[in-house]
Amino acid sequence: MKAILFDRFGGTDVLHEADIEVPQPGPGQIRVRVRAAGLNALDGKIRSGAMQAAFPTPLPAVPGAELAGVVDALGEGVQDVQVGDEVLGWSDTGSYAEYALATTVVPKPAGLDWQHAVALPVAGETAERVLDLLGVTAGETVLMHGAAGAVGTLAVQLATARGARVIATAGPANQDYLTSLGATATLYGEGLVERVRALAPDGVDAVFDLAGKGALEDSIALRGGTGRIVTIADFRAHQLGVTFSSGGQERSAARLAELAQDAATGKLVTTVTAYPLTEAATAQQVSDAGHGRGKLALTVG
């Protein structure tokens, strides 16, 4: 099968197309004929070698942690999915490929296309995990740093659906986008504390840092301490006494299925820019540049 892989760490030039063996599903796994793969900022961090200390990646490696596609083969003991089912979920093997293995998938609603389906597993789980960890409830004000990307697009909508007010930061090009999602938009960078205080004179109840671009000190100033601040991207968190949240095994198929239904009916907006699989390096360059709007996806076949 065709796949995108890298056999050394480095820039996007290490990514290349290759013909590799089709993976065989083990017990509890399914094999999916991939129609779209989700691209995550983490894919570029792994490719660069920056994550080797935290998550050692054996080479060669096929990137990609999520997929949407058609079930093609069942491993031993799989009963709730049939060959031919259209699904979306997390991949156990790299999803920048024609076939990948998966364990946790849900049915893809007919009204949701492949590329919008892959906007949901990683970003949806991350957004909800952090909103739960922060304990965001109706009537509260949440500050989100860098909310125009893949996770932020969902986090803004999921927080407003809980009845919270969201103040969210982005660059100049994404201010209107954040407003369209339901947030009060403001710029990141110098003067942030004053801008947020002007927008929320009574203070912010919680802070979700999605960018990891040095906004933790401002967050501590705005909260008057480190309570109810969570980052998913700033590795200085522990040093500053702030909570860092990493993806674990708390994946809820039931909740992913609900998000998929909401995306299919338009209740949850997903914004996707898709590239063909063969242009994975270009897509990762866009991701590495760090100023995306919504989700990046790769279409396969």
Ligand X SMILES: NC(=O)c1ccc[n+]([C@@H]2O[C@H](COP(=O)([O-])OP(=O)(O)OC[C@H]3O[C@@H](n4cnc5c(N)ncnc54)[C@H](OP(=O)(O)O)[C@@H]3O)[C@@H](O)[C@H]2O)c1
Closer of 89 and 292 to ligand X (Cβ)? 292
Q: On the CB side of 32, how many CA atoms lie within 13 Å of its CA? A: 36
Contacts with ligand X, 99-138, as mask; x by CB under 6 A: -----------------------x---x------------
Cα 5 from Cα 17, distance rounded (Å): 6
Shortest Å, Cβ 195 to ligand X: 13
End-to-end CA distance of the chain: 11
Considering only the stretches 58-66, 68-76, 164-172, 194-202, report the one whose residues sit in contact with ligand X under the rule CB under 6 A. 164-172
Q: Which of 3, 4, 14, 40 binds ligand X (CB under 6 A)?
A: 40
Q: Which of 1, 42, 74, 240 binds ligand X (CB under 6 A)?
A: 42
Q: Which of 29, 95, 103, 287 binds ligand X (CB under 6 A)?
A: 287
Chain positions 200 to 219 lying near ligand X, rule: CB under 6 A, are 210-213
Cα 99 from Cα 296, distance rounded (Å): 19
Instruction: Assess 245 for contact with ligand X (CB under 6 A).
Output: yes
Closer of 79 and 246 to ligand X (Cβ)? 246
Cα 24 from Cα 74, distance rounded (Å): 9
Q: CA angle, 39 as apex, 262 and 206 as ends, to 5°?
A: 60
Cα 250 from Cα 247, distance rounded (Å): 8
Closer of 258 and 288 to ligand X (Cβ)? 288
- What residue ranges in 189-265 does DSSP mark as E strands? 206-209, 229-231, 243-244
Q: Residue 23 CB: number of other CB atoms within 10 A? A: 20
Burial class (CB in 10 A: 0-12, 13-18, 19+), 87: buried
By beta carbon distance, the residue nearest ligand X is 149
Instruction: Assess 188 for contact with ligand X (CB under 6 A).
Output: yes
Q: Which of 30, 36, 150, 283 binds ligand X (CB under 6 A)?
A: 150
Instruction: Assess 247 for contact with ligand X (CB under 6 A).
Output: yes
Cα 298 from Cα 115, distance rounded (Å): 7
Instruction: Assess 148 for contact with ligand X (CB under 6 A).
Output: yes
> Would you state the structure tokens that stand for residue 34, as one six-digit string?
């991939």
Q: On the CB side of 9, how many CA atoms lie within 13 Å of its CA? A: 13
Considering only the stretches 10-18, 73-81, 240-248, 261-269, report the one whose residues sit in contact with ligand X under the rule CB under 6 A. 240-248
Q: Which of 71, 233, 281, 300 binds ligand X (CB under 6 A)?
A: 233
Shortest Å, Cβ 8 to ligand X: 21
Bond before 23 cis per omega within 30 degrees: no
- What type of residue is 166? V
Instruction: Assess 174 for contact with ligand X (CB under 6 A).
Output: yes
Instruction: Assess 169 for contact with ligand X (CB under 6 A).
Output: yes
Question: By the criterion CB under 6 A, which residues form the site for ligand X?
Answer: 40-42, 122, 126, 145-146, 148-152, 169-171, 174, 188, 210-213, 232-233, 245-247, 287, 290-292
